[in-house]
Structure 1
Amino acid sequence: MSRRDGVRLHLPALALAAGLLAGCSSLPGFLGGGPERPKPAELAPNPQLLGVRQAWSARVGAVDFPLSVQVNGTRVTVASGDGTVAVFDAQTGQEQWRASVGAALAGGVGSDGRRVAVVTRENELVALADGAVQWRQPLGAQSYTPPLVAGERVFVLAADRSVTGHDGASGRRLWSLQRPGEALVLRQAGVMLPVGDTLVVGQGGRLAGVNPLTGSVRWEAPIASSRGTNDVERLVDLVGRASRQGDSVCARAFQAAVGCVDAARGTLSWTRRANGSDGLDGDERLLYGTEADGRVVAWQRATGEPAWTHEQLQWRKLSAPLVIGRSVAVGDDAGFVHLLSREDGRLLDRLTTDGSGIAAAPILAGNTLVVVTRSGGVFGFVPN
């Protein structure tokens, strides 16, 4: 085991008799361990400029895996580490259904509003609908990325960044796209999203445009390249969430860079060094991200030039951001959600949850801001 910036790195086991790598290694996306971090910055007084209130709360279960919350209209789908999947109405907080897949989860959740898909730690892709398991399909590698459910298919991005397409009704594998294995991989969600008729996925430090019907690669564009002299220093991987505006898709390479790609042409627009481990969000003009030291940064979407930096949340272990109204929402490991101005980064409001830490990037469902905590609290906030 090795460490990089306080994140545990798991090196591959060696098959000593053969001298070969015995399996896929992983690197947790949850920060912790390593050298002691500086004391988090003291929080400034809450200006309460937005008038936001908690409308409802619910519970799912402890979240000990890289959860991505799924929104389909006003339906919010969440999951807990023990395999519980639950769907809530974002307007009222009313539970619509709840089910268990019977195994601990490694990745999820994905949904098209009708079918929900998750991946278990036993390397099974599981699909559910209306509170019942529809089918299970074994996978060839572990996955920490929520499956993408679209067009009557389910797409899986594995930890080794192979991609598979599955039939939505049966789970049968339709195609597989492989790439050379990495010595280290991240145990957190990667990049996978639809752009027009192209499936855009992160593979190493590159974004790739894939034909969703056949799995053939249409284009590749590099966000970051491998560097360093050992496996830890050479680790390069794109992390979710990605920010899409039209054909512009922007993503972060773990502790290396941020960059944007024209997904219609498959060309790199720009890339810039950045040191963060979580995904991005953005609007037509700006791109927003949180750095490893707790700074929140905005870049010009067209050029990558810095727009502003907010430094009052340093060392608070921030989530990926969410653009909401005139603000950018970021959660921290104390359970606060900070709402910063999209224009200049100044604090507009601060919301409280249960104090157990924000487990996933905040999401917007209708006019409701939904956040999930590590202890399994689900909170809905709305304007007054």
Structure 2
Amino acid sequence: MNKRFKIPFVLTLVAAALVGCSSNKPKVEKIKPNPLPKLVQAKTLQQVFSEHVSATNKNDPLRLQIAVDNGTLFFIDPKKDTVEAFQGNKRLWATRISKHETLSAGAVAGNGMVIVGNQKGQLFGLDEATGAVKWTSQLSGPIITPSYIQQGRVITVTNDGNVYAHDVSSGQQLWTYRLPTVALSLRGQAAPTQLDPNTVLIGTANAYVYGIDVVSGMPRLQRRVAVAEGSTDVQRLNDIDGDPVMMGQFMVTTSYQGQVTVTDLQQQQVVWSDNASSNKRPEVTQDAVYITTMDGKIIAYGLLTGEKLWENDQLLHRNLSNPVLLGSDLVVGDFDGALSLLDPSTGKIIGRSMTKGDVTSLRVVDNQLYVSTQKGALSVWQNR
């Protein structure tokens, strides 16, 4: 029987620190995060929405992202087991799914529906306008990452390595695809993303990216994008937990204890790869790739050349979020709720705003920044 063990990232750090220790009572030195650098005439962001939901386990942060569709915001409260809708600062509705406090995946919205999932493997489709639960489907494992809506299908990855497609309106299961499993991996999962109008990309714990036809469920692509080295299972962990990103024909991926890699899918070859450990989604433009590493570096590369354009190590060990571009600024969040603004051409920190709690997810939609934290602080920001 092939069992797949998911371990929180904090335990991975401890296990890695203990490898090779001969003492019966090894001491693990606590790494201190860098203090936030002092700024003169710092740029700030304007907060346009704020709401607070229940906190999640700090050792197992979930992607409680805010979904937005037609100007309406949707999000979950994982402890109250509710889905809420807001327009501006006005709550439109709040629907309690059950009494089990198991909602575990951030909302997605589209085609008039809001999709959420829970730790028991249940997928729910709610009406955007009323919050009424239109359908429920039982999947094979916990749902810890947001689904994706494409071509009228809801694409969902469960924590046991299955990919499902459901009709967004009726909830009818259309197909399922089994991903290869590994014996040991981080507790995390890349969310499905679009390769093209008919294909969805899935990053996995075995350092492969799979492209699956959203209509038929047939595989269209299989690429290994990272390699890890080491003598133990922990040292060989090589998960892709950050969502793959497409820029034209180029697919950009990051991996834990692996590499940042740019692959030309048209030519079916790697353009460049550089050793960098990251479990966050990269930010990509037509010219550059921006990543945050596990130890807190922010690095910019040339998209086509792989040349390192700059590296910022001022925020070491601050548990950085994924980087995003908001207008002319690059933004990263950290464990203390700081949203640092950087000049994307130089890597210089030029501003800061503050939220509350470990920033677990940043998204930019229609030039607005959507922020989620482990403490349940959900907020929307824009440039002043």
TM-score by length of 2: 0.85
Of 293-302 and 160-169, more deviation after overlay is shown by: 160-169
Could you tell me how far apart the structure 2 residues matched to 1:254 and 1:376 are? Answer: 26
Cα displacement string for residues 123-143 of structure 1 (whole angstroms, at most 9, x for unaligned residues) = 111222231222111112233
Give 2:76's match in structure 1, choosing from 70, 76, 79.
79
Could you tell me how far apart the structure 1 residues matched to 2:319 and 2:50 are? Answer: 23
Could you tell me how far apart the structure 2 residues matched to 1:277 and 1:136 are? Answer: 31
Matched with 1:149 is 149
- 1:189 and 1:39, CA in 2 relative to 1: closer, same or farther beyond 3 A? same
- 1:169 and 1:266, CA in 2 relative to 1: closer, same or farther beyond 3 A? farther
1:261 maps to amino acid: T
Matched with 1:94 is 90
Could you tell me how far apart the structure 2 residues matched to 1:306 and 1:69 are? Answer: 33
Matched with 1:107 is 105
Could you tell me how far apart the structure 2 residues matched to 1:174 and 1:326 are? Answer: 42
8 Å contact kept, 1:25–1:183: yes
Of 198-207 and 160-169, more deviation after overlay is shown by: 160-169
- 1:250 and 1:277, CA in 2 relative to 1: closer, same or farther beyond 3 A? same
Kindly state the Cα deviation for residue 120 of structure 1 after the two structures are TM-superposed.
Answer: 0.8
Q: What is the 5 A alignment of 1:270-289?
A: 270-289=272-291
Q: What is the 5 A alignment of 1:19-168?
A: 20-21=1-2, 23-29=3-9, 34=14, 35-64=28-57, 65-67=61-63, 68-72=65-69, 74-82=71-79, 83-89=81-87, 92-102=88-98, 103-112=101-110, 114-130=112-128, 131-168=131-168
Matched with 1:357 is 358
Matched with 2:382 is 382
Kindly state the Cα deviation for residue 32 of structure 1 after the two structures are TM-superposed.
Answer: 8.8
Matched with 1:238 is 240
Matched with 1:198 is 199
Unaligned 5+ runs, structure 2: 15-27
8 Å contact kept, 2:42–2:352: no
Could you tell me how far apart the structure 2 residues matched to 1:368 and 1:375 are? Answer: 21
- 1:263 and 1:46, CA in 2 relative to 1: closer, same or farther beyond 3 A? same
Kindly state the Cα deviation for residue 302 of structure 1 after the two structures are TM-superposed.
Answer: 1.2
* Percent of aligned pairs sharing the same letter: 26
Matched with 1:300 is 302
Unaligned 5+ runs, structure 1: 1-19
Could you tell me how far apart the structure 2 residues matched to 1:370 and 1:93 are? Answer: 15
Q: Count how many residue pairs are aligned between Structure 1 and Structure 2.
A: 360
2:321 maps to amino acid: S
Matched with 1:9 is none
3-state DSSP class of the match of 1:361? Answer: strand
8 Å contact kept, 1:145–1:190: yes
1:336 maps to amino acid: A
Matched with 2:24 is none
Kindly state the Cα deviation for residue 178 of structure 1 after the two structures are TM-superposed.
Answer: 1.4
Kindly state the Cα deviation for residue 265 of structure 1 after the two structures are TM-superposed.
Answer: 5.3
Cα displacement string for residues 172-215 of structure 1 (whole angstroms, at most 9, x for unaligned residues) = 22212213321023322314211222111113211122111111
- 1:266 and 1:124, CA in 2 relative to 1: closer, same or farther beyond 3 A? farther
8 Å contact kept, 1:74–1:366: no
Matched with 1:315 is 317
Q: Please report the RMSD computed on the Cα atoms of aligned residues, expressed in angstroms.
A: 2.4
Of 40-49 and 279-288, more deviation after overlay is shown by: 40-49
8 Å contact kept, 2:146–2:191: no
Of 244-253 and 338-347, more deviation after overlay is shown by: 244-253
Could you tell me how far apart the structure 2 residues matched to 1:285 and 1:143 are? Answer: 34
Could you tell me how far apart the structure 2 residues matched to 1:158 and 1:268 are? Answer: 29
Matched with 1:17 is none
8 Å contact kept, 1:188–1:239: yes
Kindly state the Cα deviation for residue 367 of structure 1 after the two structures are TM-superposed.
Answer: 3.5
Cα displacement string for residues 317-356 of structure 1 (whole angstroms, at most 9, x for unaligned residues) = 11111111111111111111101111011011100123x2
TM-score by length of 1: 0.85
Matched with 1:211 is 213
- 1:100 and 1:133, CA in 2 relative to 1: closer, same or farther beyond 3 A? same
